[in-house]
């Protein structure tokens, strides 16, 4: 079996993709990774589709220039809006996978369940999500919960405390929490406040994060395509981080989330791509 020690490229509109990268590293510790967070243009979830597609293509071009062997679109909004265009443009060159709200495991966990899907307004408005929802709507009561402003809180470092508690309580106020069986974390930023959401909802409510399934999908794809790393020739910096803004803040935040030291974080101008 051949191997490929080029890095895996991971992109997001900012910090959220770290929750996906965390699962990728756990599952494939021998791989090299390049992460790009487009913090200057976050959040993607409030932009029009054309902007999201344009920004995401620039993100991919940046990662390709740095030798990425595969692309993980670790952003639910970018996946919903741009994954079709990205695959059409790049899939002959390298594998491109996205991340989607994990409806299936949430719905199947309990018969006739009540499932809340937290996501950006953009993700929930897209045909891609609504087609998926239609598949499972006979099996569960699925409630779409757009969360405007939540990504901005997380990007600014608000991961707990009274402000975030008040926001979440207001979001869930129209519903009886005792009747909710599962909450789908439909934005990669949201697992970063998983413990806060769990406290608000109570321990009986299952929180569903699709990052692990995405990591499994990528590993399976790399295995089939003989693109897995040998694990023996790690780069000097096996994990490289680039952002379009707030590099110091990103480094500090990433170090609090990831299981290793983030030593290299650089700010770049994505408009050049």
Residue 86 CB burial class (10 angstroms; 0-12, 13-18, ≥19): buried
- Per the annotation, the verdict on 147 as an active-site residue is no
Report the SS3 class of residue 67.
coil
Active site (annotated) includes residue 187: yes
> Which tokens go with 42?
């976050």
Strands of the sheet containing 113-119, edge to edge, are: 140-146, 113-119, 182-185, 206-208
How many other C-beta atoms lie within 10 A of the C-beta of residue 27? 14
Task: Report the C-alpha gap between 28 and 218 in whole angstroms.
Answer: 10
| CB-CB contact of 99 with 79 (8 Å) | yes
- 63, 70, 75, 86: which one is catalytic? 75
| Region of residue 90 (left: phi > 0; alpha: psi -120 to 50; beta: else) | alpha
Q: Are 17 and 74 a contacting pair, CB within 8 Å? A: yes
Among the listed residues 42, 103, 187, 262, the single catalytic one is: 187
- Could you tell me the two tokens for 54? 């344009």
Instruction: Give me the active site residues, please.
Output: 75, 187
């Amino acid at each position: 079996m051949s191997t490929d020690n080029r890095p895996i490229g991971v992109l997001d509109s900012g910090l959220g993709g770290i929750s996906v990268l965390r699962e990728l590293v756990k599952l494939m510790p021998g791989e090299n990774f390049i992460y790009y967070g487009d913090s200057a243009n976050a959040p993607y979830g409030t932009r029009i589709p054309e902007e999201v597609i344009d920004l995401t293509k620039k993100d991919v071009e940046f990662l390709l220039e740095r030798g990425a062997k595969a692309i993980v679109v670790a952003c639910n909004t970018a996946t919903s809006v741009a994954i079709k265009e990205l695959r059409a443009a790049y899939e002959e060159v390298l594998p491109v996978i996205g991340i989607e709200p994990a409806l299936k495991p949430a719905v199947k966990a309990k018969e006739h369940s009540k499932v809340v899907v937290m996501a950006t307004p953009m993700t929930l408005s897209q045909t891609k999500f609504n087609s998926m929802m239609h598949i499972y709507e006979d099996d569960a009561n699925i409630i779409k919960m757009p969360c405007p402003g939540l990504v901005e809180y997380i990007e600014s470092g608000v991961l707990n405390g009274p402000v975030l508690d008040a926001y979440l309580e207001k979001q869930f106020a129209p519903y009886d929490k005792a009747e909710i069986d599962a909450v789908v974390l439909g934005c990669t930023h949201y697992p970063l406040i998983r413990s806060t959401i769990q406290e608000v909802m109570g321990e009986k409510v299952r929180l569903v994060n699709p990052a692990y399934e995405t990591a499994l999908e990528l590993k399976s794809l790399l295995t089939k395509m003989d693109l897995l790393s040998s694990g023996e020739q790690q780069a000097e910096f096996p994990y490289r981080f680039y952002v379009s803004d707030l590099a110091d803040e990103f480094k500090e935040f990433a170090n609090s989330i990831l299981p290793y030291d983030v030593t290299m974080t650089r700010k770049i101008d994505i408009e050049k791509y």
